[in-house]
Copies of this chain bind each other. A is one copy, B any other.
């Protein structure tokens, strides 16, 4: 098997749109804009691109069901470039990025443009709801009042049944996320909701699917992000390269009754594979961007990555480990929860935010001395799990 540590695959440039309700944008304009931004950042011309991978969920939210070649709209010089869409629900962005890494390892490409994109806010709520439920084996094609939130609410209820109430800690996670997002210029939500607000059900913070309140849920967003992956650093790049130290994927079974709802077993497997492959322990990481589509997912992930024992995830927060000044800052970007969650874009966005940290250009979000970080991105209820470990090179 290939030892990625002997390889030199780097993120050589990136682009990122604002996330939010982008009424002037289309799927195409988002794809083209972030693609162009990534090429400029890497100092490349379109003709330098060997392959394009697009992470995009769609699931009925956008009429074009064959979006891989949208990136070619960037330039006439892209004629003939292989372009492929990769889909793993909410992990589509990381799935595309991992295919891009694989293409470089395979030697079929030297420079790969990876784009993640989703346009959602134009669609009626019922179309978005049905689209997202399309990622769930049991709910796909069925009507649901609570949508995907209802599925994660069941995780929260199972967690509560096993370990006790979580309403307060979920509120604290939400408040941390909102606070972090204030410093992220790309974030959808720039609202500093405090612990008290996030812990309380109110007219402005209604229950969506008990025990999940509105502040426990990531918003429906439009957005896109892109990276240029390269074999080795590019002399042309305007940013310091960030090395892919490892990447790993693990899928779980789709039926709910085949999974322990609070274990995220395949997420743990992907995490272990990635850290082992990178030769890193949890203590070697300076930050993590993880998949907090709902606050309960972030709580469970504290346990999955080993920050806390099962059922003790709240301690990671209460002991201050996961804040921007903590031992292992989690979702300094604001996470999906406050940055927004344009499905196909999310995984690529997580990698861009990590790369910004590791190249020292994260602005107000910058952590001092960040040398190594990890990204976790999941599709469905911990069904498709992608983990990447990234390292500073300069």
Contact = CB atoms under 8 A, between A and B. Distances in A.
Contacts of A149: none
A142 B64 CA distance: 10
Contact of A250 (B58, B80, B253): B80
Given A65-B60, A137-B64, A253 B72 contact: yes
A29 interface: no
Interface string A56-80: 0111100111101110110010111
A227 B76 CA distance: 36
Given A2-B108, A58-B65, A108-B2, A251 B83 contact: yes
A175 B287 CA distance: 64
A130 to B, nearest CB: 9
B73 A254 contact: yes
Interface residues of A, number: 60
A182 to B, nearest CB: 33
Number of copies: 2
Given A83-B384, A106-B106, A383-B69, A63 B141 contact: yes
A303 interface: no
A298 to B, nearest CB: 21
A134 B84 contact: no
A269 B137 contact: no
Given A99-B99, A108-B2, A383 B86 contact: no
Interface stretch (A87-95, A196-204, A317-325): A87-95
Contact of A251 (B69, B137, B269): B69
A106 B103 CA distance: 7
A38 interface: no
A69 to B, nearest CB: 5
A36 interface: no
A249 B380 contact: no
A84 B95 contact: yes
Interface in A116-172: 131, 134-137, 140-142
A305 interface: no
A236 interface: no
The 6 closest A-B pairs by CB, nearest first: A63-B141, A2-B107, A65-B134, A59-B65, A105-B106, A82-B249
Given A60-B60, A63-B141, 4 more contacts: A57-B65, A68-B251, A79-B252, A81-B251
20 contacts: A1-B110, A57-B65, A58-B65, A65-B131, A66-B380, A69-B251, A70-B254, A72-B253, A72-B254, A79-B252, A79-B265, A80-B251, A81-B250, A83-B88, A84-B86, A84-B88, A85-B88, A99-B99, A102-B103, A105-B106
